[in-house]
Amino acid sequence: MNEENNSYISADSQSSLESIRVGIIGGAGYTGGEMIRLLINHPTVSVSFIHSTSHAGNPVSKIHADLLGETGLVFTDRLQIDIDVLFLCVGHGDAIKFLSANKIPDTIKVIDLSQDFRLTANSRIDNRVFVYGLPELNKEAIKTAQNIANPGCFATAIQLGLLPLAKAGVLGDVYTTGITGSTGAGQGLGATSHFSWRANNIQAYKSLQHQHINEIQQSLTQLQGNDGMCVNFVPWRGDFTRGIYISSIIDCGLPLAEIKQLYKTYYSEQPFTLVSDSMIDLKQVVNTNKCLLFIEKQGNKIVVHSAIDNLLKGACGQAVQNMNLIFGFDEKSGLKLKANFF
């Protein structure tokens, strides 16, 4: 990015007074494409530019073919500073590099989808301080934030299954398994991402050492305090494109009815996190910003199942939800999406 430090131009101001102007860095990948799809259909957003060094000059629809006829936007390798909010749809480690190399005015809000600023110890760069952007945990802080560290996909699904127990102070050690679609690994080709390996196959990876464990522990400690609880997480690669399904096992002596009420009370004012009275499945959430939860109990153990779309509630949808909160829009604006149920 260093060669672009001085490549700033003024945005072509086409937005109405009611709209905010947004820019996207890293528009060619899976999260970039999903962000574009959401924002061009958002009622109070005007997309000023979509940045990509590798595709500069190409129509967005050439890379994201499903947007043919939906937008005439063209990728650019130049930055515009006449915007209200900047989305960083870049890889882990690249957000901090970008902000270090490109001095973005403090008046521009930044929503970062990488993991660079999620932990409190790493939440500052220069004058920017990032708030952890899980609305079900930090909604009031998000409303007044200048910068958002968007949570990880696995972290979102796991935390939403555990936060009510942590709030009640009854969360002990957690044993979690979760399976994710191939888009969670990004667009780059790898030994475990090409079709002939992924099709009709699953595999565990990063057992007990996934990078999202730290942010999960941070959030649970925020609610319950540091009492030695531990999240033991084994993730799985699935042979489907998108979605995350989590099952977490916890010792809990409370009656099931009381546990369910804890969850329904905690999420009563959260429009996207819903407690189901029957078993959930992945198709219910794919292509939506929802997280669905189902709780069951055998003996002294409960199992909390949670499901999200990794590209929406696990990434871009949650980023737009955070943007809505920051600018005082309806929290659900631009996110009333139908699941791909069939």
Longest dimension (CA), the chain: 64
Beta bridge partners of 333: none
Which domain covers residue 221, as residue numbers? Answer: 154-308
Q: Are residues 175 and 291 in the same domain?
A: yes
Residue that wins the pLDDT comparison between 268 and 15? 268
Q: Are residues 166 and 269 in the same domain?
A: yes
Q: Are residues 75 and 15 in the same domain?
A: yes
Q: Are residues 319 and 246 in the same domain?
A: no
Sequence-separated (6 or more) residues with CB below 8 Å from residue 50: 23, 24, 27, 32, 36, 60, 73, 74, 75, 76
Q: Are residues 19 and 127 in the same domain?
A: yes
The 10s digit of each residue's pLDDT in 142-183 is: 999 999 999 999 999 999 999 999 999 999 999 999 999 988
Beta bridge partners of 87: 24, 111
Q: Are residues 182 and 251 in the same domain?
A: yes
Q: Are residues 66 and 136 in the same domain?
A: yes
Give me the residue label for tokens 């989808």. 113
The 10s digit of each residue's pLDDT in 248-275 is: 999 999 999 999 999 999 999 999 999 9
In a domain, 158, yes or no: yes
Q: What is the pTM of this model?
A: 0.92
Q: Are 178 and 245 in contact (CB under 8 A)?
A: yes
- The answer, yes or no, to whether residue 8 has pLDDT greater than 90, is no
* Total domains present in the chain: 2
What is the domain-level CATH number for residue 280?
3.30.360.10
Q: Are residues 136 and 252 in the same domain?
A: no
In a domain, 164, yes or no: yes
In a domain, 296, yes or no: yes
Q: Are residues 188 and 271 in the same domain?
A: yes
Give the single-character DSSP code of 298: E
Q: Reply yes or no on whether 153 is catalytic.
A: yes
Q: What is the pLDDT of residue 185?
A: 57
Q: Considering the candidates 89, 153, 252, 316, report the single residue annotated as catalytic.
A: 153
In a domain, 197, yes or no: yes
Nearest to 79 by CA among 47, 50, 59, 40: 50
| Token pair for 53 | 């060094």
Residue that wins the pLDDT comparison between 130 and 340? 130
Query: What is the overall mean pLDDT for the chain?
Result: 92
In a domain, 80, yes or no: yes
The span from the CA of 59 to the CA of 309, in Å, is 27
Q: Are 221 and 159 in contact (CB under 8 A)?
A: no
Q: Are residues 48 and 140 in the same domain?
A: yes
Measured CA distances, 13 to 35, 80, 140, 179 (Å): 20, 11, 31, 43
In a domain, 263, yes or no: yes
DSSP assignment of 9-20: E-------TT-E
What is the domain-level CATH number for residue 51?
3.40.50.720
Q: Are residues 164 and 76 in the same domain?
A: no
Q: Are residues 71 and 173 in the same domain?
A: no
Please, which pLDDT band fits residue 189 given cuts at 50, 70 and 90? low
In a domain, 331, yes or no: no
The span from the CA of 57 to the CA of 46, in Å, is 20
Q: Are 316 and 337 in contact (CB under 8 A)?
A: no
Give me the residue label for tokens 């709030």. 167
Residue that wins the pLDDT comparison between 250 and 11? 250
In a domain, 334, yes or no: no
